[in-house]
Chains A and B, each alone.
Chain A
């Protein structure tokens, strides 16, 4: 393949003078002909992204060192007070802890169920397309609707799921009980996003080379052995990518909690994103919220870096 420089040389030598003049005259006027068309094409996006990412990032750093209440007119410098307020705070660490539990338990369930269903769908003799189509519908449900639904289904006096649970003798206010509320919101996330894992794994399964599997079968390996020795190593990269994406999503998970439990009861569902919203908009302490936001940003950048590494590994 030719490099850019080579084909622009080719272009120059082959073009009629008329065309050449037409395509460069405007740029000549501004004396910026050294820039390629590609630079102009991406420039508007870069400007917009810079406004919406660099500015907020710098602003977060600035605000994290300021005494910055939404009500006060002028923020004043207060050193590392906000950072101390955030880092030496049980609610902060407990919120991160809950986020971690959310991520580990939620992702584990999503991967186990998601991979299981993917394998089942893959083996189906008939109706694969119909099953996939129906199975993936929860992905399109707005998270706020998922939350509303969860709240409706789990209502102890008229909820369908609460009623089903009462039939087997479980009779608690699921979203109102410290012991069950976090599990319930995790399951709402699992309900919504397990199909995504299935889709990704199914795509991986369908692109698997047939030979290693057939060879294993000829060698007399049973289904489990084939799964563990052949299938899992081949789709593990796909699963890892899916996991990274989902873990970043879980960090952003707020909508459903806002609608279902508002972080309660007794903080039992207060994940880090929701805690931040509370510090910012309920307690109106932007300085502390900024410091808190930066800790979330660092976590995301770390995860994002891993994601990009995985995605670009195959390209080189």
Chain B
């Protein structure tokens, strides 16, 4: 071969880094641009050609979190709804996931398919009967209604995730504990649960993300007092145009906690997402 090996290697590496850099620019430019726009002045945001260097201005954030901007109420609704629905789904999902992993149910395959199918059901299709059901029960516009709605996608996801994690824990230890006099539940609590703790955290963060990012359910089921941050973002789009400064600031607030949390559990992410159908 005429070309020396180290030259070939350099060419290959240059090629690889170029591709990866381009990909990262494509993935991150919109996000960087959003964060930058959220700290620009109104005039700076709309100037053409676009400005990449400027003095940051936090007026939009100040307004949003002021009495007038009323952003705290959206934020607290989002936090309450997503945290509570995550806790409910985690508790029930852990118990049920363990049962699915260990119990010899009749028609176990059909049972787990049914569980995952409730997660995969197209939201536009199920939102209708749920809407009618919720309005008959007086749940539209209430926090329990929103919690219940979020549970429809978080619980099946938590069940499947926890089932997968529990299946990886060897059963022998629990059997030994039960022979020593533990009840089935004690064996679950003391022996099987501790090793799946990291999986539990990952599942929790993904549930948190699904409900935090939800727009469909929140826009149909939430009322004036229970609107979440994604709904707040959509309200900025009006007939008269869009309050872009606030929209960018709201977007920044929506994604920041989830990006941090998501990156923290990225090791488990693929497993979780391929188990539970994304979003």
Interface of A toward B, CB cutoff 8 Å: 1-4, 7, 10-11, 14-16, 19, 23, 36-39, 41-42, 44-46, 48-49, 52-53, 55-57, 59-60, 63, 113, 116-117, 120-121, 123-125, 131-145, 148-153, 157-158, 160, 163, 191, 193, 195-196, 199-200, 203, 241-242, 245-246, 248-249, 251-252, 254-255, 258-259, 272-274, 276-277, 280-281, 286, 289-290, 292-294, 296-297, 300-301, 303-305, 307-308, 311-312
Closest to A20 in B: B181
Q: Are B255 and A248 in contact (CB under 8 A)?
A: no
Q: Are A49 and B118 in contact (CB under 8 A)?
A: yes
Distance A124 CA – B151 CA, assembled complex (angstroms): 41
Given that A135-B27, A308-B116 are known contacts, is A286 also in contact with B128, CB under 8 Å in the complex? yes
Find chain A residues with CB under 8 A from B24 CB: 131, 134-135
Q: Are A254 and B274 in contact (CB under 8 A)?
A: no
Q: Are A148 and B128 in contact (CB under 8 A)?
A: no
Main secondary structure of the interface of A (DSSP, over half): helix
Q: Are A304 and B113 in contact (CB under 8 A)?
A: yes
B132 close to A (CB within 8 Å):
yes
Find chain A residues with CB under 8 A from B188 CB: 37, 41
Interface of B toward A, CB cutoff 8 Å: 12-13, 16-17, 19-20, 23-24, 26-31, 33-34, 37, 45-50, 92-93, 95-96, 98-100, 102-105, 109, 112-118, 120-130, 132-133, 148, 151-152, 155-156, 159, 171-172, 175, 178-181, 183-185, 188, 209, 212-213, 215-216, 219-220, 230, 233-234, 237, 242, 244, 247-248, 251, 254-255, 258-259, 261-263, 266, 269-270, 273-275, 277-279
Instruction: Please give the distance in Å from A274's CB to the nearest CB on chain B.
Output: 8
**Which of B121, B125, B156 is in CB contact (< 8 Å) with A276?**
B125
Find chain B residues with CB under 8 A from A134 CB: 24, 27-28
Find chain A residues with CB under 8 A from B215 CB: 142-144, 255, 258
Q: Are A48 and B92 in contact (CB under 8 A)?
A: yes
Instruction: Please give the distance in Å from A190's CB to the nearest CB on chain B.
Output: 10
Given that A45-B95, A142-B215, A160-B33 are known contacts, is A199 also in contact with B279, CB under 8 Å in the complex? no
Instruction: Please give the distance in Å from A157's CB to the nearest CB on chain B.
Output: 8
Most buried by B among A46, A63, A191, A292: A46
Distance A164 CA – B26 CA, assembled complex (angstroms): 13
Q: Are A252 and B151 in contact (CB under 8 A)?
A: no
Distance A53 CA – B155 CA, assembled complex (angstroms): 12
Find chain A residues with CB under 8 A from B28 CB: 134, 137
18 A-B pairs besides A142-B258, A153-B30, A293-B124 with CB distance below 8 A are A4-B103, A41-B95, A45-B95, A53-B118, A56-B133, A60-B125, A60-B129, A125-B13, A134-B27, A134-B28, A139-B262, A142-B254, A145-B230, A249-B278, A254-B123, A303-B120, A305-B113, A308-B112
20 of the cross-chain contacts (CB-CB < 8 Å) are A10-B179, A19-B183, A37-B99, A37-B183, A41-B98, A44-B95, A44-B96, A123-B16, A135-B24, A138-B27, A140-B209, A141-B259, A143-B215, A145-B251, A153-B33, A196-B273, A242-B274, A249-B278, A272-B124, A307-B116
Instruction: Please give the distance in Å from A138's CB to the nearest CB on chain B.
Output: 5
Q: Are A55 and B234 in contact (CB under 8 A)?
A: no
**Which of B23, B50, B156, B255 is in CB contact (< 8 Å) with A160?**
B50
Q: Are B132 and A286 in contact (CB under 8 A)?
A: yes
Distance A191 CA – B29 CA, assembled complex (angstroms): 11
Given that A137-B259, A142-B255, A152-B244 are known contacts, is A48 also in contact with B151, CB under 8 Å in the complex? yes
Q: Are A312 and B109 in contact (CB under 8 A)?
A: yes
Q: Are B117 and A191 in contact (CB under 8 A)?
A: no
Q: Are B30 and A163 in contact (CB under 8 A)?
A: no
Closest to B171 in A: A1
Q: Are B122 and A296 in contact (CB under 8 A)?
A: yes
**Which of A38, A59, A124, A136 is in CB contact (< 8 Å) with B20?**
A124
Find chain A residues with CB under 8 A from B122 CB: 248, 251-252, 273, 293, 296-297, 300
